[in-house]
C-alpha cells in the first residue's frame, strides 16, 4: 500500500460516523477494499498498522476476522473523534481487537498450560494482553481482513499456498513485519499458518530460529483444538524449556 492510498483510507475512516457497533454494510464497502480475486476480498483495518517491534513473543494467526475488524474500527474512530493521532488510534485498536472474544480466552489458557508465563517471567499469560505490557505482538499472515463471500476466511478454500492473491499478500505484509522483530518466539496458530511458514522456510524467505510448532488454532469453532493441544503439549513444553529469554519480569502496576 503506497502512502497516497494510505492517506486516502485514513481520511475515509475519519469520515465515518461514531457508532456503538458497525455492520458489514458500514465497513465492507468499496472505499475500504484493498483488493480482490474472485470472491476473495481484502479490506483495510486500522489495528494492523501498529507493530510492537520490542515483543518477545509473536502470535501469528491467518487473518483478522470480522469481529476483530469491527472492534478495531469502533475503537480507532472513537479515538480519532477525541483528537487522538492516527498512530495512537491504531495502537488502541490493536489492544482492543487482538484475539478478541473466545479466542483470547482459549489462547491464554493453552499458553498458560505450556508454561509461557515461566518462559517470559510473568505471573500469568493474561498479563501479556495488558496495554502496558510490551512482550507480546499479535499479527496475521495476511495483515488485513480477508473475507470469502463476506464471511471469515479460515485458511482453506482456497489454501494460501495455492492462491497467488493470498500468497502475495503474505509476502507483502508478513515478511516485512517479521523482519522488524528481533528473533522473538514465534507461535503459529494452527496448521494453516504452519503450512505457510514451512513454505517460507523452504523458499528460504525466513529462517527457523524460535518457532513453536504444534499449537492449535484457538477458535471455538476448531473442534480438534483440544485433541491437537493434548497431543502436542509435551513437545511444546519441552521446546520452551530448552529456550531462554532475556525478558525482564513484568508486573502490572
Distance of CA 144 to the CA centre of its chain: 9
Q: Say yes or no to pLDDT of 160 above 50.
A: yes
68: closest CA among 58, 79, 76? 76
Q: What is the pLDDT of residue 1?
A: 66
Closest CA to 66 of 87, 86, 45, 51: 45
d(CA 133, CA 251): 9
Q: Would you state the pLDDT for residue 170?
A: 95
Give the mean pLDDT of 216-236. Answer: 89
For 5-40, the pLDDT digits (tens) are 888 888 888 899 999 999 999 999 999 999 999 999
Higher pLDDT, 131 or 124: 124
Give SS3 for 250: strand
Over residues 72-96, the mean pLDDT reads: 89
Say what the pLDDT of residue 253 is.
41
- Ramachandran angles phi, psi of 251, nearest 5°: -125, 125
175-198 pLDDT per residue, tens: 988 889 888 999 999 999 999 999
Among candidates 250, 220, 219, which has minimal Cα distance to 64? 219
Angle between helical axes of 3-15 and 66-81 (0-180°, round to 10): 80
244-253: pLDDT as tens digits? 654 555 555 4
Query: From CA 44, how far away is CA 90, in angstroms rounded?
Result: 12
Amino acid at each position: 500500500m503506497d502512502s497516497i492510498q494510505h492517506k486516502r483510507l485514513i481520511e475515509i475512516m475519519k469520515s465515518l460516523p461514531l457508532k456503538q457497533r458497525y455492520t458489514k454494510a458500514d465497513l465492507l464497502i468499496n472505499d475500504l477494499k484493498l483488493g480482490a480475486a474472485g470472491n476473495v476480498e481484502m479490506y483495510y483495518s486500522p489495528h494492523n498498522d501498529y507493530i510492537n517491534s520490542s515483543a518477545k513473543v509473536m502470535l501469528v494467526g491467518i487473518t483478522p476476522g470480522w469481529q476483530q475488524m469491527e472492534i478495531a474500527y469502533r475503537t480507532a474512530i472513537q479515538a480519532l473523534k477525541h483528537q487522538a493521532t492516527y498512530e495512537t488510534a491504531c495502537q488502541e485498536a490493536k489492544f482492543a481487537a487482538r484475539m478478541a472474544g473466545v479466542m483470547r480466552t482459549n489462547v491464554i489458557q493453552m499458553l498458560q498450560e505450556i508454561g509461557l508465563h515461566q518462559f517470559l517471567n510473568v505471573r500469568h499469560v493474561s498479563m501479556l494482553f495488558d496495554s502496558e505490557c510490551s512482550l507480546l505482538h499479535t499479527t496475521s499472515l495476511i495483515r488485513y481482513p480477508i473475507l470469502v463471500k463476506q464471511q471469515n476466511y479460515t485458511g482453506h478454500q482456497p489454501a494460501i499456498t495455492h492462491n497467488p492473491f493470498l500468497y502475495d499478500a503474505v509476502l507483502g505484509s508478513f515478511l516485512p513485519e517479521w523482519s522488524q522483530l528481533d528473533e522473538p518466539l514465534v507461535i503459529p496458530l494452527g496448521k494453516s499458518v504452519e503450512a505457510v511458514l514451512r513454505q517460507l522456510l523452504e523458499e528460504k524467505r525466513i529462517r527457523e530460529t524460535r518457532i513453536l510448532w504444534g499449537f492449535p488454532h484457538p477458535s471455538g469453532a476448531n473442534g480438534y483444538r483440544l485433541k491437537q493441544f493434548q497431543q502436542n503439549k509435551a513437545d511444546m513444553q519441552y521446546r520452551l524449556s530448552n529456550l531462554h529469554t532475556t525478558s525482564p519480569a513484568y508486573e502490572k502496576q
